[in-house]
Amino acid sequence: MDLKLTPNAIKVLERRYLRKDPEGKLIETPEQLFTRVASAIASAEKEYGVNEEGVKKLQDEFFTMMANLEFLPNSPCLMNAGKELGQLSACFTLPIEDSMESIFETLKITSLIHKSGGGTGFNFSRLRPKNAVVKTTGGVASGPISFMRVYDAATEAVKQGGTRRGANMGILRVDHPDIMEFITCKENNNHITNFNISVAITDEFMRRLAKGEDYDLIDPHTHKPVQRINSKEVFNLIVKQAHKNGEPGIIFIDRINQYNPTPRLGMIESTNPCGEQPLLPYESCDLGSINLDQMCKRSGSRCEIDWQRLKEVTALAVIFLDNLIDVNKFPLPEIEKATKATRKIGLGVMGWASMLIRLNIPYNSEEAVALAEKTMAFILDEANKKSLELGKTKGVFPAFKGSIYDRKDGTTRMRNATLTTIAPTGTISIIAGPCSSGIEPLFALSYHRNVMDNDKLVEVEPLFEQIARERGFYSTQLMEKIAQNASIKEIKEIPEDVRRVFVTSHDISPEWHVRMQAAFQKYVHNATSKTVNFPHEATVEDVRKSYILAFDANCKGITIYRDRSREEQVLNVGKPKEKQEARSIHEIKKEIAPRPRPEVIIGTTTKVSTGCGNLYVTINIDEDGKPFELFTQMGKAGGCAASQLEATGRLVSLAFRANIEVKSIIEQLRNIRCPSPSWEKGQRIFSCADAIARVIERRLVNVQPAPIAESVTIPMKHSHDDQLQSTDLDEQVNIVGMCPDCGGALRHEEGCVKCHGCGYSKC
């Protein structure tokens, strides 16, 4: 089959999805990928007595649907289906109780999920607030934000095999005592970078806000009020921070639970990282999206929706996602149990804006909002029919009793507790491209997309180029002009009717963004991922109005983003000013490029005594008198020690050659501590890195000082025969280093090193 994949789609598939051998060589084609996935998902039918012929027929239907780019599942399914790992879910939520055991057990589970390609959501509201008394130890609690930082650091360490980076959602209830700290915890864009954060807003809070009243902050441990705070003060801070950098978002937690299909199992407290999938503790969800851009057909000179094919694809997609649950290899038994109890799936859409363009309908129009409701209502209705059919043939979900579907007449014996979700489709929409992402409008007609470690892909809207050529206004100069603008509404060379349809996210007022989200949400069981875009000049009041509108329009949450409110964006549109900035950055990069090595270079070698042995540090200087490179050698060190020293030397050398300020290098290495510190001429050497910093300081900063460390004379008393008094000698000389736990003196006693301050010992 001839797959119609764009160059960008092929690049993404090769980078992240196709199989590779141990040397990194591709051993799978896109066609083989779709065959692998279709075969794995169709194999679930065997459990229900379907013969080989029936399984093969369904496999072929799955393959055709994916190969035609009519439907794609979430990334973990494309990556892992038919492989040994076999973890196919994108979304997980995990519980965090108010105990160290729960916090770190959940952290362990989180790391396993991230390693397998999933994202995780948490509600930290059960943790007692900062400085609350911990009766068991007599100490004080560090609060939920401190543990978010721990989770963030762990996520940073797990890179998910280079395919998907860890992603988290952190949620805190608006009535938690630490809510103000939580709202501002991402004020610095470099803090808690692996989390999206959202405030769980209650209906009670919104009622208080409407009247400007105070409300209680509740200690989750004692369940008692600890403070009263003004609702407007809290809401103003949320809005201010969101205006600043897009966080926190908001979820309306009571509204989410209003639509909880299995209330007997418990309350929903958290969502997946992008907020579109509310889940019970330990639940996971499997997502997939129908490409609406492929659901159009020509009728004479016009396009129209192919409702028959949309019906067929919807039914197939429901079977696909339901089967996925059966063949999935879950990270934990608890997750498998919770997921199979409800069998939640999340069927959504992508290519919405692309379809509107084909239908000649502006995104920001009443016609578009009405069509959104009609389209999603159709998909939900067909999904309900198929789930009801599967419920009859394969059985209802195990937690059916007591669910919202449990009716005496038996007319709603559903296979799945939820069916629809509007998820972000950033990567799979590239594979399905040209296709707009989710239900978002076009970001621009020409832009760069940053993916996977700042790799840049050039994206151009092909529908616009097609129209421009057909209508005769295409030119290279015009395309260059468009590439420098986020909008074409002021470009008069383009016909007015074309400008009317090809609207971009910044042409659309926030009100239309919210209304479009609300239109889809009416027919979505779970929630809807949608970013409300604001121009850079939008005010705080503009953001406030959108938050209130989202609540009034029955959305389950809202996320906003004001253009250029963060240093880095996934999508970037070039503008004249920004292009000038890009040139200056390029010039800076040229300035800091490492200098080439001369043929001959001279230097000095300094010996330092460390806790690991004698370290020899060589610093070479170039002909201009600038430090050029640093080498290290430690006695007979090998293995990890040697490799770490070599790595440190290489990085310092790179910094030297790139003209990084020497004092900055020293600051980064100075006082790094290891478990085996030492003394060098009366001064502590905390680690090999610290020793290197001291050598650099002596040779390059303090050119004329005393030895590496100033000599410190140990006071000792002498007798007439010059023999030392043993008590004073023991007090001074038995110090062999610094305690790694408390920083106190380590003494050598009984064959061990001990700290009298905290009790640390090592034998």
Please report the DSSP string for 473-537 in residue order: ---HHHHHHHHT-S--TT-TTS-HHHHHHS-BTTTS-HHHHHHHHHHHHTT-SS-B--EEEE-TT
Q: What are phi and psi of 608, to 5 degrees?
A: -130, 140
Active-site annotation holds for 276:
yes
Cβ neighbours around 290 below 10 Å, total: 24
Selecting among 77, 91, 185, 274, the annotated active-site residue is 274
Is the separation of the CB atoms in 399 and 342 below 8 Å? Answer: yes
Provide the pairing of β-strand 249-252 with 195-201: parallel
The pLDDT of residue 479: 79
Q: Based on DSSP, count helices (H) and strands (E) in the chain, helices before strands.
A: 25, 30
Q: What residues in the chain have per-residue pLDDT under 50?
A: 160-162, 458, 575-591, 704-736, 741-742, 748-753, 756-763
- The string of pLDDT tens digits covering residues 560-594 is 999 888 755 555 555 444 433 444 444 444 445 67
The pLDDT of residue 506: 83
The pLDDT of residue 707: 41
The distance between the two most distant Cα atoms of the chain, rounded to a whole number of Å, is: 116
What are the DSSP calls for 240-289, one per residue?
HHHHHHS--EEEEHHHHHHT-S-GGG----EE-TTSS-EE-TT-EEEEEE
Helix (H, G, I), strand (E, B) or coil at 78: helix
Element (DSSP H or E) covering residue 91: strand 91-93
Selecting among 70, 247, 269, 276, the annotated active-site residue is 276
Q: What are phi and psi of 552, to 5 degrees?
A: -65, -25
Structure tokens at 337: 């149990």
Active-site annotation holds for 742:
no
Write the CATH number of the domain with boundaries 91-271. 3.20.70.20
Structure tokens at 558: 């809202």
The pLDDT of residue 647: 87
Active-site annotation holds for 640:
no
- The string of pLDDT tens digits covering residues 282-304 is 999 899 999 999 999 987 778 99
Residues linked to residue 442 through DSSP beta bridges, in sequence order: 504
The pLDDT of residue 483: 75
The pLDDT of residue 89: 94
Selecting among 168, 196, 272, 323, the annotated active-site residue is 272
